[in-house]
Each structure stands twice: as structure tokens, then as C-alpha cells.
Chains A and B, each alone.
Chain A
Amino acid sequence: MQTNNGGNKRRQPPIAPNPSKRFQPQHHEDESPALEEDEMMDEDVFLEETLIEDEEILRNEQASLALSSRLSKWKRPPLSPSSLSLSQNIIFQQLEIDYVIGDSHQELLPNSSGPAAILRIFGVTKEGHSVCCHVHGFEPYFYISCPPGMGPDDISRFHQTLEGKMREANRNSRAPKFVVRIQMMQKRSIMHYQKQKSQPFLKIVVALPTMVASCRGILERGIQIDGLGCKSFITYESNVLFALRFMIDCNIVGGNWIEVPVGKYKKTAKTISYSQLEFDCLYSELISHPPEGEFSKMAPFRILSFDIECAGRKGLFPEPSHDPVIQVANLVTLQGEDRPFVRNVMTLKSCAPIVGVDVMSFDTEREVLLAWRDFIREVDPDVIIGYNICKFDLPYLIERAETLKIAEFPILGRIKNSRARVKDTTFSSRQYGVRESKDVMIEGRVQFDLLQAMQRDYKLSSYSLNSVSAHFLGEQKEDVHHSIISDLQNGNSETRRRLAVYCLKDAYLPQRLLDKLMFIYNYVEMARVTGVPVSFLLSRGQSIKVLSQLLRKSKQKNLVIPNVKGQGSSQETYEGATVLEARAGFYEKPIATLDFASLYPSIMMAYNLCYCTLVTPEDIRKLNLPPECVTKTPSGDTFVKPSLQKGILPEILEELLAARKRAKADLKEAKDPFVKAVLDGRQLALKISANSVYGFTGATVAQLPCLEISSSVTSFGRQMIEHTKKLVIYGDTDSVMVQFGVPTIEAAMSLGKEAAEYISSTFTKPIKLEFEKIYYPYLLISKKRYAGLLWTNPEKFDKMDTKGIETVRRDNCLLVKNLVTECLHKILIDRDIPGAVQYVKNTISDLLMNRMDLSLLVITKGLTKTGDDYAVKAAHVELAERMRKRDAATAPNVGDRVPYVIIKAAKGAKAYEKSEDPIYVLENNIPIDPQYYLENQISKPLLRIFEPILKNASKELLHGSHTRAVSISTPSNSGIMKFAKKQLTCIGCKALLSNADQTLCSHCKGREAELYCKTVANVSDLEMVFGRLWTQCQECQGSLHQDVLCTSRDCPIFYRRKKAQKDMAEAKLQLDRWKF
């Protein structure tokens, strides 16, 4: 650890072979690998080694002079004279805060010298000027509790000892001083209820942020103090990221407006950034505006949405070491506007022009990459968005530039000569699971990867850009298979234009998703509510947000938060929420649902549960608290009542919920759509934050776990659900379902409201049971599985609500989803159980009779590793392997989703051998295995629904007479068929025809007209489908005069389209036989 933090000033060769190694975050050494939330990661420190020589830059800048004139029209608006002359206050919205190590500013801080941390705030003024503010004078610090009996003299001795230890630990550091000063302060630990108001603490101020961890290590391991012996300390607030520390101490919240008064800032002597306004100031001079009124608005940030295309080799996923970047499409939009003001595409080799788009073609890849860099510099985007840019596009560009030895490429940030670097990170959290990702540092620009946001905020069956845009924007995206991309690139300027249009569309979709889902508003509001920088919201888990609020609140209350991480508490668990036993059945009377409004936050508020109100078992005896002043929770822990000590967490929650109420009230009043968007984002952020406080206390390896609090919360929750149990048919975490036995919805509603009020009155405030909705009818299958029609007003039901039923599961085929949805629809809305049964029977019959549309049977799984890495053989992996043998170019690669169907195979074949590519199946008439679909796909979900309704459901549905007729198609490619001789058969009875000119055998001659009608009706149906499918694809691709190229297997009509083409060709042949 020591070696990592010491030598900040070493010169490095221009290209650091693997910069990430040197920047291993500090905690990796002492933390277990099984971290649940990775919050300790310290910011990257921007060092000179990432800077490159000035001469190199100059050389290249001359070369790109011609291009720059083209790019310059997209520059930011010029500065006004008053801001040029520094004669006005600078007000800007900050988006990104980081820090560097540099020499302390001589003018602003005449008394200090040597390296110091300089904070940089990047932001935008309301005129759209970019700002880089260097903040000086803020020092890193943390606390330890002062050992009893330590006086001022002891402190200076202690200072010297610590300084010595630090010097020992950081031998190769040039820093003149490590521990700047140690002050005694009166503070109190947040943990446990204490009678005395404060205790002496030592505030240890160190020279550089990286030294905090090193110093903490020394103190935690123990240090020899004269007169006191060897002592180890618990440190307080030693794990707070430096930038966050600064924000907390200066009352800055993520994305708020900052004002620097005139005269308090100095123009930077030697500018190091590309920002229009760059200045130095002292941290104490900053004015942070709370996000209210005028300051709740958003500055006109520039949002860049981009997408790259690479020419992959056949059968392989593009790799930066081999495959060139051939196109980069860019769109730049000003925040708040609905159309991009820059649309361009940079292509390798010529490209025919595109309407409304600036096409820039280059002969070498080097020029493409450098043009993109120059473009970034000119346009100066504040936010960079895209789909999967963090894991793919950005690292690819940077690694590709490394391969091509373009050292000057990765200067993408706002800092001159500073390279963007890629490092691998893993992000893991209980909520989101483990994600491997790459972190690209681009100083001063916020990266917002829509894929990450989608994965965080929405549960979807697939996260491909295609299905996400189909889901949210309601349109299918054209998908060009990567094996075609190389062909298009190697064609002419027209085919490259085709590719460019596709690339542009991919760049535009993230922007549209961003607008549609109001991510900017929601995330900025979340940053403002929780006080963390916007970039934290995507790259870190939930707990940093709670920690930030906790720290802010503690600071007001003069409390300090201990660093109690890694106490081995990860083994402990506590009892979770209660779920009452479900009385399964089909309820045809209205069921009222009563909900605890924000149950867990309410419990915490009602019983004053907090770190600082918890009484330790020893203290219970020692302090002798009167019983009326304490609450004993059902889990056996004791907390004091607010009369003695008001908890911090309840206070945070109260503020959050009050703020949410306010935001909701304002939202009702608001007229302006932008204000509405901000307010809605805010109330959502507040709700999420309130709910995550409970989780924070229970996350056993997070910052400050306190199982006493979390287990008390759930125990209260359980108690409350139990309390309401008598009437209840089912109760979940925070809601109960009650059958009042009344036949009408109105009656159930009024009873529900009455009951909710009555029960609420028996609880401690603010716990409140609210009447929420009626389910009528209601199909309760088991715990966490139900379906019902939801009513909130007696006139009309709102929707069909389902939970835990196979309507959305991703690894089922579409047939299951359709079948289940249709059945529920028939049962619940049409109230037609026989109809539902008949529908199931018809579907099963269709399946067995081979009349099922293939796309309904396609199962899709993601290929995450190659075949060898899977321990158990899986169907989709085996298929990918087989497809590679057939044609490596179109076979799926790692990362692709593999669609397959289960085909009939030899008896005893393993399930994984029976998978086949749907296209291959279509082309070769391979029979599918209906039995597999019947048994493994549809039987379970169906029985689940029908068992509460029907007696003998399994017998009735799965083994009735409708399962007797079976039809299987003959494969056209099987071995035996190669020896078969083709002969025409009679269209009517399939009898062999001796004379090839005939259509019908002599027996069927009389039925000529009937058989003709049949053939022609078939043709007519197919023609209709064919026409509609193919014109739909033309519509999606947005062009009538070009062939459809799309191979999006996520598209619901992809297989149908293919099948229609094939069926049509066959049907036409059949029909032509009649024209003898």
C-alpha cells in the first residue's frame, strides 16, 4: 500500500503500459474479496505521468488544422467581455468534482508550500460556458477519539511520533510534511446512546488525501505513545472520499449551482484545461446554492451521444488489437432541447453524403481517431452518453489507439495533455449483483452509459439496445449483423453510407432514451437529494448515498462516524420480512389490499431507531434508564425515545419524506414541463433514498452496518403484519390482502378505508396502514405469485396486475408468455374459464400438429463464456459450438444472445443436443419437439394457474383428446432424403402421380374446385402476411429503395418474415401447378 501512495512525482515513460496496476485502489490489500459494496475506492489521482510532452501535441495540431476549421463551428458560445475581464460573479452548475496533487497556490495560500490537493470543479454557466474551478486550501482529515488524559503537550509529541511513522511508511515520498496538524475537538460518536454531550476527539489533518489511508492503517495497527503505551485507535470518518468530504464541508450537493464572487477568484496563470473559464479560489469563498427556485434549473449542458463500428473478422468478436474502428457517429444535444445541433459521422474510407449529417471521411484509421479526439475537444461535451460505452466503445477506442501507437489520442478530458485511462473494475452490490466493467477516466466529463442505467433502474427480459428501444420507444431497431459490417465497409461509398446511417441511428437511440426516461433530471435530482456527485450514482451502490446524508447530518449535530468496516460481521444475518402463508385459490369476491405506506422508514421514525439512540446491553444496566424512556424492540434491542435523544436516521427520513410531500405538492401545481420533470425526478429520488436507509443499516459489510437497527425494523414489520392477520388471505412484506366478504367493489373499498383507519390508530405514529386497491377477481397461487384485476375506483378496473407469473420471464419462449397472458385475460377479464381451457387446448393441439409459429418457440440465452468454461453442458453453448463448425462467420460469439429451438432428435438424446438454430430449422424443415415444449415449458406455468380453479387440471389440460393428433414435418436435409427420388403427388390425396403434368389424381378430379379454393386461400393468407411483414421492415429501416438488411433476432417478426418468404415460395409453386 505504501508504495502505491508514495511517489507521486515520478516521471514515467509517455505510454504507461498498464496504468491501472499502479493505481490499485488502496483497500484491495486488506479487504476480503467478498465485498458486497465497494465503497472504499478512492478517487484516481491525476498525476503527471499521464501527461505527455508538449512538443508531440504541437506536431499533431498542425496536421489537423484543416479539420479544425470544420469542427470550429460547433464551438461553445464566446465569452462576454465582462466575464473575460473577470468583473462579474461566476455562477455555474457543477457536474464533476475531482482533485489533483499539485503545488499549493502561492498567492492564495502564502503560508503553505509543498504538494497539496487541489480540487477541480467542472461545470457550465447558464450561458453555456464551460468552467473549471481550482479550489485551494481544503485539507484532508479524519478523527480519532482522544485517549483519556492526553493534554496539549502530549498532542505535539503524538504528532511527532505519527509523523515519524508516516515518513517510515512512505519512504520515497518527496512531501516535506505528512501530518499537518492535530487539533483537539469536542465531538461525539454516532454509535450508541450516550449521556454526556461530547468527548474530546483529535482531528488529524494530513497533507495529501492519499495519506489518510496510510495514517489510518498506522493508527489502527497501534502506535507507541509516550506515557500511554502502545495503543490502537478506532478512526472516525477516515474512509470518506476526499471530494465528498469537500462537498459535505462546503454544503455542496451533486449538480447544484456554485457562485464565486468577483474579486475572490484569480485567473489561472497557466491554464491546464480546455474550459473557457478557468480560475483559482479558496474553498472558503465558494457560495453553494441549495437547489431551489432559480437554482433548481439545469444549465445547458452539452450531451454527446456516440457509437462506433468496428470491422470484425469473420466469426470473432472485434478485438482492439486486430480490428479497426471504421466509423464513429456523434450527436450533440443541448440539455433541454429536443433536437441535436450536431450530427456527424467519421468514416474510414469514402462515404456517400447523408442528408442533414456532416460526413467526414478519412483514409487512415489514425485520422479517424484523431478527428474524433479533436471533435471532442471542440464540442467540449459535459456529458458523454451511449449504449455500453463504458464497457465497449470507450475502452475500444483507447486500446485501439494504443495498438496503433497513437499516443496523443486519448486526450479526451478537459485537462490539456492528460490521457484518458482504462482500468478494470468490478462493481458488486447486493441489489445489482456483480458486474464486471471497465472504468475510463475522462476528466471533467460525466459518462452516462445508458446500458448501466437500464440495468440499474429497470427489470427487463433483455437489455439489448434493440429490445430496450422497442420497450420504451415502441420501435424496433434495425440490427446489422457484425459479419455484414465488414462486407459493407469493404464495398463502395454507398455501402459505407448504409453503415453510417445505421451507426447514426445507434448513436441517436441513447439520446432518445435519455430524453424519454428523463434520466438527466432524475439523476441530477438524485444527486441533489443525496448530495453525491452525479458520477457516483452509476458507478457506485446505494450506500454511498445514505452515507453522504448521514455525514451531512452528523456534521450539523457535531457527531462523528466511526470506521467500523471489516469487523467480520458478514456472517451474521437477521430475520427478514414476513410473508404470511397464502391461502391459494380463486377469489371471486373483491379483495381489499391495505398497504403500509413506506413501512420501514415509518418504523424507524416511529420507534426512533438510530445509531445514536441504540443502548448497548452494558449501558442498559449502567445507565439505569427509566422504562418509559426506552423502547424495547421485538428483536430484543433497546433504543431510547426521542425525549432523551432524537435519532439522526429518523430525522433524515423525516426530512426526506417531508421533502417528497413538498415535491409532490409542487408537482401538482407546476405547469412548465421542465419544472415538472425536475420535481417528478426529485420526488422519485426522495422515495428511493428513504427506502435505502434501512438497507444501509443491514448491509453487513457496508460503511456502517448496525444489525440491531435493521433486525428491529423487520421485527416490528413482522409484528405489524401479524397484527393484521385475522381477516387476511395473504400478507406480504408491507401489505395485506383482506377479504371482507362483500360482493361489490364500492362496499369493499369503504370497508377497506375504514379498516385501514382503525388499524392505523392502533400503531405508533407515523406508521400508517393505507387502503390502496381492490383486486377483483383475484387468483392467488402461492407466496409472491398472484394475478388479479386491479381497481382503484369502482367504475373501471385499472389494469391486470400479476406477480411471479411467467409473463415476463426471459428464459421462457414467447409461447409461454402469450399463453399465460391470454389465459389470465380470459379468466380475469372475460371471466370465461371454459374459454381459457379451450384456448389452452387449441394451443396445445396447434403445437402438436406443428401449426405453431416458430418464433413463439424460440428460447434465448446469453452466451457468457465459451463452451470449455461451462461446467455443465448447456443447450445454447453446444449450439453455438455446432454453428461455429457450420459457418464461423455467423455463429454467435461470447456476449451474443443465442436463440434456439428444441428439435426432435434420436431417442435418449440429451437435452443439450437437441437445440438448433431457428433459421436452420426453418430452412431445412426440421421437426421441433412438441413434447419438450409441452412438458418443460408450458405445463408448469399452466398448472400453476389452473390448479386453484380446476379439478384435475393436469389431466384435463395436458392429456385430453386434443393431444391425440400429432403431425411432424419431414426434414429436407436428413441423410435418407439424399437417396429419395422426388415425385409429384396429387394435391388432394397425396397419391403419386405418374404423369408429371397433372395436378390431381383421377379420384380427386371431381374435387378440383374445392382443392383449388384451398390452395388459393392458403396463398392468399401467406401473401397478406408476406406483404405486411416486409413492408414493416422497410418502415423500421426507414428506406423504401434499399433492401432490408436487418438480422435482429430480438425482433418479434424476424422468424416470421423469414418463414413467410419461404412459405410463399412454396405456395406459389403449388399454385403454379394448377396452370397446366
Chain B
Amino acid sequence: MEVEGEEKRLHRKQSLYQSLVRFAFFTFSASHFGNFSNMCVWVVGEILICDCFSISLLWVWFFFSLKDEKFQILQTEKYRGQQYSQIYFARLHHMRNLIYTLVPNWKPNLPVTTVLGLEAGKECIVVGTLYKHMKLKPSILDEYSKERSAVPLAKPHNFMHPDDYLVLEDESGRVKLANGILAPSVFVTGLVVALHGKETSDGDFFVQDILEAGLAPQKPLPLGSDEDKYVVFVSGLSVGSSESNPLQIQLLVDHMTGHLGDAKEQNIASQIVRVVIVGNSVNVPVRLLTGQNLASKDQSKLFEPFKELDIFLTQLAAALPVDIMPGSDDPANYSLPQQPLHRCLFPGASAYNTFVSCTNPHSFELDTVRFLGTSGQNIDDLDKYSDAKNKLDFLERTLHWRHLAPTAPNTLGCYPFIDKDPFLIESCPHVYFIGNQSKYETRLLQGSEGQKVRLICVPRFCETGVAVVVNMRNLESHTLSFSTCFDL
């Protein structure tokens, strides 16, 4: 076991801080335990040297395994003129096989057919991809071809309209779904479901019942562990934006690295085994990226937020493992799955092997507890094209649909995969987190087969000052709230 130690003196920006805290700490970390390619055993020990010279040594053991490989776009995957039909085909193919295994338990006596095989008046089951025809859906054609009207087009937050209707499609054709039990407001394009109904005389399909794939099977949680292990989720740091407050972020960092609070709090902090930064960590001044070479003044302006972020990340990575996911505002590609932020952006933090730049969506396992999450694009898109009481319902729906992002590629950018659909949820996570939401919401979802999923909306930190902590032992979650209101 290789042990490396490091001491670091940190620079504080806030004078208040500087007078309070001045210490050094060591981190012992051991990596490459065994020869597992993707799995490592981390032994994190922290020796905290505080003002009172008391030394506490804590050891937390855990297993980590990254499950991101299906979200990686390899160098061999190129744009060769392939279209989006292939990803829909792969999705339909996979989901249909799955749903076919469920149908006998659902409605054993009904014949299963394709859209083409529908016969007027005959009840049957059809599996296909839903397509929602939306009147208000913005079209790139309109932007491009319509003459500029005197009245600017209003940009609604939500594109729903009472006239929207659903269409079911498979390789053989499509059929319009007549008013049945299906509310178009709940469903979105790209979803694969089984429908029970019959064709009407008009050639529409009258839906009587619907079967979604339901929650995927879940690995059981490790039993009997009485050790608290925490994972912290934070999103929307937006370093460099006008809303971001460096002090708030520093407080968070210091808390997680155990430099704040009393012994009890430090004890809890020492049980944090991982920090996941769920997207939108920096705010790049977009106007600078026009394709022209930058003046040196602008270069520094562009790079300032990265430097700042790198300092925070370096502090974190020095203390505990950090995952950073790209988000919609980060310097990453636009379409899902977003590829890891390049290491050259974080020269300091990337020196640590505790620092993992990962994809969005991001999936990993800690001690057999399965985590899955995105930086929020998939849920935000659902919010634009469908309707729910709160964001958690969307989360729940995607799990029931066994698909992370059904609206990709239709309204959500997505790489045109040829033979797979990486967004299918093949096994149910224990913790499902979505970043960059307006407020913290959480719920424990219980599946019919005993699945237990902690659903979390991680709020934007720059707006709320809230990070979310999940206890792996019992899947309970609470918030860490940092407020920096001073009346000086």
C-alpha cells in the first residue's frame, strides 16, 4: 500500500476566515488496491491538526466502482451520416423484448400485435414508441423560414396545448391514439409502452390500458451495516457568475474537509466518502467564445472562473474523492451524454487521483449502493414538454419508464448512437439525483418488488447555498445549508 502525504497551506480570501483558521492536514489515501480496472478501495485517513493540537485519526473503508462506460462516446464513434432512427430502433427493440416478458402477467389473454396488424374493433396489445404531436412545439423551420412577424413570438416555459395528441409508432407504421385513458400531458415523445385497446372505425387506436416497463430490478442494499457513510451532492456552483459567492463555496469546502464545526460535526464530515458535483460548476462568459482569437485581457477573464474552481476542487480532492459532472453551462459538449470536462481545465485538482471527471449522466457504485444521476437536462426537458405536480414526479416517471431521457433525441440533444441506447435504465439505482433544480426535494420511492430509491432534486448552490447529503446506510438525506448574511 502506497501512502502519500501532503501538506497544504490554503489561502483564504476572506479576512474573517484568516484569523480563525490556520492549519494543515494530511491525507493518506491509498489507491489501486488490487488490480481491478474500475474498482478501487479507498482508505481515507485524516489527521487533523487543529489549534488545540488534538489529533484524531479516522479510517473509513469503502468500495467504489464507476459505471460510466456506457455514457462514453469513444473516438471510434463518429458522425458518419447516421441518423436518429437507429437509436429509436435500438430503444424500441430493447424495451419491446422487455415488455413482452411482462405482458403475460399483465393481460394474459389478449393477442399481441404490431401497429400494422391492428384490426378494427379487435382488442389487442401493441408495443411501440409514443410520439406526441404538439402544436406549440418550437420548430427550427419556423425560425428559419417564416417571415419575421411584427409581434415577437412569445417563448412559453411549457409547450403544452390542449390539442396535443399521442401517436404510437413501431417499425411498421404509426397510429393516432384516440381519447382513452391516456392523458397526453403525462407522456412524451420517445417513450416505449404497451397499450391495450382497439382500432376504431376512423383508424384511430382507442386506448383502454397502458403498461409501462416499471422499475428495473435492483440489487439489494447491504444489510446490517451500522456505519454511517455520507455522499454529498452539490450542483450549480456557477463560479464566475454574478450570483456565485466564493465565501459560501469555501464554507462548503471547509465543512466537507472537516475544518469547520466542533468535534461532532467534524466526525460527521469525516464520514463523507464522496462529493459529487452535479453540473454547472463554472459560468463561462459566452460572448468571449466567438471563434476569434482572444486578446490576452480576455483570456484571463475567461480563465478566471476556472482558476477559482480549480482551487476549490484541489482542496476537496486533497481531502476526499470528488466526482465532477458536466452540465448545460459547462465547457462541455451540448448533447447527451455529455463527456467529462477536460483535465486541462483543472491543472491543480487533476493531479490527484481522488479527482474524477465523469460523464453526464453519471453512474457509480459505492459499497453496492448504486447511484445514478444527471445534471438536470433530461428532467428540465420533460418539464417543458409534459406536466407534473412537482419535479420528483418526473424523476419517478423516468424510473418507471426505465429510461433516463425519453425526449432525447427529439427535443433533447443526443449523440446519434448506432446500435445502443445508453439511457435505458437496466438496473434500478438506490440513489437517483438530478442537479440544477430550483429547490431541494426528496422522496423515497418504494417499488413493487421491494426496490427502494432515494430521489433527490439537488438545488443550485449559487442560488440556495444548499448541498444535499445522503446517508448510504439508510438512504436518508438531509441538507447542508450555508448562509453568508453578514450585518457588518
| Chain A residues within 8 Å of B, Cβ to Cβ | 339, 352-356, 470, 476, 797, 799-800, 807, 821-822, 825, 829, 1007-1010, 1012-1014, 1016-1021, 1023-1024, 1026-1032, 1034-1035, 1038-1044, 1051-1053, 1056, 1061, 1064-1065, 1068-1069, 1071-1072, 1074-1075
Contacts and interface: CB of A to CB of B under 8 A. Distances in A.
Given A1010-B299, A1039-B174, A1056-B144, 20 more contacts: A353-B116, A355-B174, A355-B175, A1009-B345, A1012-B331, A1012-B344, A1013-B345, A1027-B335, A1027-B409, A1027-B414, A1029-B140, A1031-B410, A1034-B83, A1038-B174, A1039-B169, A1041-B171, A1051-B141, A1052-B144, A1053-B141, A1065-B79
A352 B291 contact: no
Contacts of B411: 1031
Nearest to B139: A1032
B302 interface: yes
Contact of B289 (A1017, A1030, A1074): A1017
Contacts of A339: 202
B34 to A, nearest CB: 27
B52 to A, nearest CB: 41
B413 A1023 contact: yes
A355 B79 contact: no
A1019 B334 contact: yes
Given A1016-B332, A1069-B78, A1075-B75, A829 B150 contact: yes
B172 interface: yes
A1012 B342 contact: yes
B40 to A, nearest CB: 22
Interface of B: 75, 78-81, 83-85, 88-89, 92, 115-116, 118, 129, 131, 139-141, 144-145, 147-148, 150, 169-175, 189-190, 202-203, 284, 286, 289, 291, 294, 299, 302-303, 306, 331-335, 342, 344-345, 409-416
A1055 B233 CA distance: 44
A1023 B92 CA distance: 24
B413 A1013 contact: no
Given A1007-B299, A1039-B169, A1028 B140 contact: yes
Contacts of A1012: 331, 342, 344-345
A1035 B410 CA distance: 9
Contacts of A1041: 85, 88-89, 92, 129, 169-171
A1029 B75 CA distance: 24
Given A822-B148, A1028-B140, A1044 B302 contact: no
B127 to A, nearest CB: 13
A825 B89 contact: no
A1038 B189 CA distance: 13
A1020 B299 contact: no
A799 B149 CA distance: 8
Nearest to B310: A1009
The listed residue with most B CB atoms (<10 A of its CB), out of A354, A1026, A1038, is A1026
A602 B139 CA distance: 48
Contacts of B115: 355
A146 to B, nearest CB: 64
Contacts of B174: 355, 1038-1039
B289 A1061 contact: no
Nearest to B116: A353
B342 A1017 contact: no
A1043 B331 contact: no
Nearest to B175: A355
Nearest to B284: A1013
Nearest to A357: B203
B141 A1052 contact: yes
A1069 B79 CA distance: 9
Given A799-B150, A1019-B334, A1043 B83 contact: yes
Contacts of A821: 147-148
Given A352-B172, A1024-B334, A800 B140 contact: no
Contacts of B286: 1017
A978 to B, nearest CB: 24
A1013 B289 contact: yes
A1013 B291 CA distance: 10
Nearest to B142: A474
Contacts of B144: 1052-1053, 1056
B289 A1014 contact: yes
A1014 B342 CA distance: 12
> DSSP majority for the B interface?
loop
Nearest to A470: B145
Nearest to A851: B291
B141 A356 contact: no
The listed residue with most B CB atoms (<10 A of its CB), out of A1007, A1014, A1040, A1075, is A1040
The listed residue with most A CB atoms (<10 A of its CB), out of B141, B145, B150, B175, is B141
Nearest to B172: A352
5 contacts: A829-B150, A1016-B332, A1023-B333, A1023-B335, A1041-B129
A1052 B147 CA distance: 12
A1072 B410 contact: no
A124 B60 CA distance: 90
A1027 B413 contact: yes
Contacts of B291: 1014, 1018
Contacts of A1064: 79
A1019 B306 CA distance: 20
A965 to B, nearest CB: 11
B335 A356 contact: no
A960 B85 CA distance: 48
A1008 B189 CA distance: 40
The listed residue with most A CB atoms (<10 A of its CB), out of B147, B202, B302, B412, is B147
B301 to A, nearest CB: 10
Given A470-B145, A1032-B139, A1040-B88, A1020 B202 contact: no
B77 to A, nearest CB: 8
B78 A1068 contact: yes
Given A1042-B85, A1052-B145, A797 B150 contact: yes
Given A1008-B344, A1072-B75, A1024 B335 contact: yes
Give the top 4 A-B pairs by smallest Cβ distance, nearest first. A356-B203, A1020-B334, A1065-B79, A1027-B413
A1043 B294 CA distance: 41
A797 B116 CA distance: 52
A1068 B148 contact: no
B367 to A, nearest CB: 31
B413 A1024 contact: yes
Contacts of A797: 150
Given A1010-B303, A1014-B289, A1030 B83 contact: yes
A1032 B171 contact: no
B84 A1031 contact: yes
A1036 to B, nearest CB: 8
A825 B151 CA distance: 11
B188 to A, nearest CB: 13
Contact of A1032 (B79, B141, B169, B342): B141
A1034 B84 contact: yes
A1017 B330 CA distance: 9
Contact of B302 (A825, A1010, A1038): A1010
Contact of B333 (A352, A1019, A1039): A1019
Contacts of A1043: 83, 85
B140 A1032 contact: yes
A407 to B, nearest CB: 38
Contacts of B410: 1031, 1034, 1040
A1030 B409 CA distance: 9
Nearest to B300: A1010
Contacts of A1068: 78-79
A279 B331 CA distance: 82
Contact of B331 (A356, A1013, A1024, A1072): A1013
A1026 B202 CA distance: 37
Contacts of A1071: 333
